[in-house]
Structure 1
Amino acid sequence: MLNTKIFQIKALRCYVTAVAKTKLSPNNKFGQQLLISCKRPEFNIDRHVDDSKFGSVPLASNRWQHRKSKGDFFIINSTQDEEQRQTEMLSLDTFLQDNTIEFNSELIKNLKTEFDIKQLTYIQSTGIPKIFTGDHTIIAAETGCGKTLTYLLPVVQKIIEHKKSTNMNNRKFNTPLSIILTPGRELATQIGMVAEKLCKGTDIKIETILGGNTKKLMMNPEFKDVDIVIATFGALSKLVTTGIYRTEEVQCVVLDEADTLLDDSFSDKLCHFLKKFPFHLQNERSVGTQMLLASATMPTNITELLHKVIDVTTIQEVVSPNLHKLQPNVEQRFLRMNKGDRPSNLLNLVKRELSKNHPLLIFSNKSATSDYISLFLNNSGVNCLNLNGDMLMKIRLGRFEQFQQGMCDVLSTTDIGSRGLDTQRAQHVINFDFPLHVSDYIHRCGRIGRVGNFSKSVVTNFISSGREIGVVQRIEHAARTGGLLPNVNANIKGIINKQILKDMEQIKAKTTDDFF
């Protein structure tokens, strides 16, 4: 009995390694590429199924609730290579010739030299001219397609033109012309670095403000000329309330990762802050403010949230055809296993990837799990950085940059590391905890397979609980039918609150029935 148990444990630890080697052929017996490869070949498919009704399509994960399913797996194969991706892009030179916008020569030079951009993605070639018109605009597109430059380029160009045509001598210190708000410090830092590179050689002055030291900024403020402020929402809100930063000349407000900023956790304070800007006068260029929103997912109640501060009928949309779809250029593996087997499987997989010089991101649902993974890997001889929202700022600051600069090849993080961060180095994402919301899965997968990253990209998902299996089945169904991912509502706190209310109503109804 003991020998049998030991054999079962060894088998479970080894099967992740077997899947990592991808011994399954990505082609069927006729040589056609498979969309989905499964341990049980009867679930393999090489083309999308027409019937899109959930429950009508056989799924490899259908019986994963059963204890005997442990050790099963399926793989959503990558069906798009870099050459195919290039065909969807537009030459930068062609874009400049076809548009009437006369961009500053330094900006174009920086695009080519600092960013090595020769082609624009769909969202960039369609979004840049739309934003430049001054309309309120939502940029909704898949992760990793260049949304940051989509709004930065026209915003900076308009500031350059405004400074040429207006006397800036009367503008007071700490009075920006544009504000870019983000939910996290790492993202604010990243956008600030992108903006500095884009504005190299121009007179645009950029200031990046991070949370965590706001009290110090309030007690000992700096006053200087600034054109663009990039900040976490909480920090800038306090500095504006205390009068250290002024908003009367702001011509554009950008909400980057708008889905997170419009989550119920932020929405009330954000709406109060946004009421400071005259969005209703955006057509009067000298006094109005333009609103831009950028994200890979959007809350379903976005209209309800924004109508408090803006006429929602004036908002234009620039939407990618790949929005809320699985990334076709990323291989996605789903492995069913016991919860207790995850650490050993993780260690085997991480060591195998590091032997190939493949940097990894490991995602957890909670900060405590992220801490545990970091400690476990470091104690097992694997150098691993840890990044989560519960860390002190002085400890957290620079962690992501260390990973980006190659000082460490493994980063253990929570969803704080999944929002907007440009992880060009990462080639493999491991979901140690599978996300319980589809929107979180989209953002995590989006850390790899980004524009400019030509290496093979893989997502490996450890599936252990019943709630995780429910989400996996929805994702597998979308992969088999070629449809949109379901229930992509980025308002996570709203979802949780609705579920709590629903549970309370059910308890109340049951209590009433028992009473009578």
Structure 2
Amino acid sequence: MTQTSSPAATEQKKLLTDTRLDSLGLHPTIVSGLDARGFTHATPIQAETLPLAIKGTDIAGQAHTGTGKTAAFLLATLHRLLRDEPQPSDDAPARASQPRALILAPTRELADQIYKDALPLAADTGLKCVVCYGGTGYEEQRQAIADGVDVLIGTPGRLIDYYKQKIYTLKAIEVAVLDEADRMFDLGFINDIRYLFRKMPAPERRQNLLFSATLSHRVLELAYEHMNSPTLIRTDTETVNIGAITQQLYHVSKDDKLALLIGTLRQIDNGRTLIFINTKRTAEFIEDGLNANGFDAATLSGDVAQNKRLRLLEQFKTGELPIMVATDVAARGLHIPDVTHVINYDLPQDAQDYVHRIGRTARAGNTGSAISFACEEYVYSLPDIEAYIEHKIEAEMPTADAFADDVTVPARRPRKRRGGSRNGGSRRPRSRRA
């Protein structure tokens, strides 16, 4: 595996490089489409990866969400498909669709975001993009794939479901993209990923693009196993825009966190705020507490129905919903513009998640604020977080007037029963949703 570096990778505060997209050798149809949409210069990760990817080199890239990696692999994929004539497989199942590119994402939200980013880039190319994921649109997605697709984007569970039904084949795949590879491991999808890769042509007969927020040992092992001598490109992703984020840390007891949260939110004027918590149970408590105290807030977590999740994300992006309470499902892979404040109601237990969380603010050259509450339950994560970001976070004890003194504390919601019955009925195993 070859490793490259570039001065562009060290200039994390600079959103764009001096590299023009029309100088990279992209297919003319793509260039004209970029020009028409006002995209002229590459981000650092694009400037590093595209020249190699356009030549057909496999890439294992370390890049944070918001650095332009999605456009990087989409442009490389579209270029490859426009440059080469399609080579349908003669031994494919009858009437099975034969996509030429497969893009795998760990979450429904990320798959949908990739699809939305792909549509304008592919608009002038004649290439058809389709997205599929669990939780909604089963028959519609199935039919869209069956009708023919060039670039298939999706989550592993739904993709494997349709594959086993012979709705499509992977025998004609020319480009395979794996986004957020580290997250695939976290969510337990790695066996599904290997299953799909093994149904494709051999690594040397396709182009492989892997992106991950961290290129850990397990991610690199996956790259060695299923890629063709990829070039390793690291950018200083964990400190992207960190200098543009004001970080504050308050030491507070667990019982006083809600009052401090409400007091803090009352000081935020016309902001868009993401509140991160560690458990869905806490998310419910915070959402109820904020709504009971006059704030308009909603929760984004894995248990929320897909249609509702997409609606909430859209409302948050447009500013209709000013406050989003989220588990770490929202920490990666989502393009949420103009988040002014990130509040860690719970300190994350993984130091890397701290960076992913606060990275939701100070995007696209903006500044932002990250406020963290260190209570007796999660303060033990603080040394690891500070070691990981290589500096101490300014800590203080909140003053008495920082706490709201008129807080309505919501009752805890009753726990939901998961199947079974009091007379001995068996519980159904929980299914993984993708």
**TM-score range relative to shorter protein:** 0.7 to 0.9
Match of 1:338 in 2: 253
- C-alpha change, 1:264 and 1:208, in structure 2 (3 Å) is closer
* 3-state secondary structure, aligned to 1:134: coil
* 3-state secondary structure, aligned to 2:285: helix
Could you report, residue by residue, the CA deviation over 1:228-287 in whole angstroms, capped at 9, with x for unpaired residues? 111111111111121112111111111111111133711122212211123432xxxxxx
- Alignment partners' CA distance in 2, 1:110 and 1:255: 25
Match of 1:148 in 2: 70
Aligned partners of 1:186 and 1:421 also within 8 Å: yes
1:134 aligned onto 2:56: yes
1:193-342 mapped onto 2 (5 Å cutoff) = 193-213=116-136, 216=139, 223-263=146-186, 265-281=188-204, 288-310=205-227, 314-320=229-235, 322-325=236-239, 327-342=242-257
- Alignment partners' CA distance in 1, 2:129 and 2:196: 21
C-alpha deviation, 1:342, in angstroms? 1.0
Output the TM-score relative to the length of structure 1.
0.67
- C-alpha change, 1:223 and 1:305, in structure 2 (3 Å) is closer
Match of 1:174 in 2: 97
Aligned partners of 1:173 and 1:224 also within 8 Å: no
Match of 1:24 in 2: none
- C-alpha change, 1:157 and 1:215, in structure 2 (3 Å) is closer
Rg comparison, structure with higher value: 1
Match of 1:368 among 278, 281, 291: 281
Aligned partners of 1:279 and 1:291 also within 8 Å: no
- C-alpha change, 1:471 and 1:418, in structure 2 (3 Å) is same
Match of 2:371 among 451, 460, 479: 460
Could you report, residue by residue, the CA deviation over 1:288-329 in whole angstroms, capped at 9, with x for unpaired residues? 122211122233322444555456xx1211111x13347222
Match of 2:316 in 1: 403
1:377 aligned onto 2:290: yes
- Alignment partners' CA distance in 1, 2:352 and 2:305: 27
Output the TM-score relative to the length of structure 2.
0.79
Q: Partner amino acid for 2:206?
A: T
- Alignment partners' CA distance in 2, 1:265 and 1:339: 31
Match of 1:488 in 2: none
1:183-202 mapped onto 2 (5 Å cutoff) = 183-202=106-125
Q: Partner amino acid for 2:312?
A: R
Match of 1:85 in 2: 13
C-alpha deviation, 1:112, in angstroms? 4.5
- C-alpha change, 1:303 and 1:146, in structure 2 (3 Å) is closer
Match of 2:385 in 1: 475
Number of residue-to-residue matches in the alignment: 378
Identity score, percent: 27
1:10-25 mapped onto 2 (5 Å cutoff) = none
Q: Partner amino acid for 2:27?
A: F
Aligned partners of 2:96 and 2:166 also within 8 Å: no
Q: Partner amino acid for 1:85?
A: K
- Alignment partners' CA distance in 1, 2:168 and 2:286: 41
- C-alpha change, 1:111 and 1:380, in structure 2 (3 Å) is farther
- Alignment partners' CA distance in 2, 1:168 and 1:104: 24
1:398-437 mapped onto 2 (5 Å cutoff) = 398-437=311-350
* 3-state secondary structure, aligned to 1:91: coil
- Alignment partners' CA distance in 2, 1:152 and 1:222: 19
CA RMSD of aligned residues (A): 2.8
Aligned partners of 1:279 and 1:290 also within 8 Å: no
Aligned partners of 1:255 and 1:261 also within 8 Å: no
- C-alpha change, 1:201 and 1:303, in structure 2 (3 Å) is closer
Aligned partners of 2:136 and 2:307 also within 8 Å: no
C-alpha deviation, 1:146, in angstroms? 0.9
Unmatched 5+ stretches in structure 2 = 1-10, 393-434
Could you report, residue by residue, the CA deviation over 1:15-36 in whole angstroms, capped at 9, with x for unpaired residues? xxxxxxxxxxxxxxxxxxxxxx
- C-alpha change, 1:110 and 1:395, in structure 2 (3 Å) is same
Aligned partners of 1:91 and 1:118 also within 8 Å: no
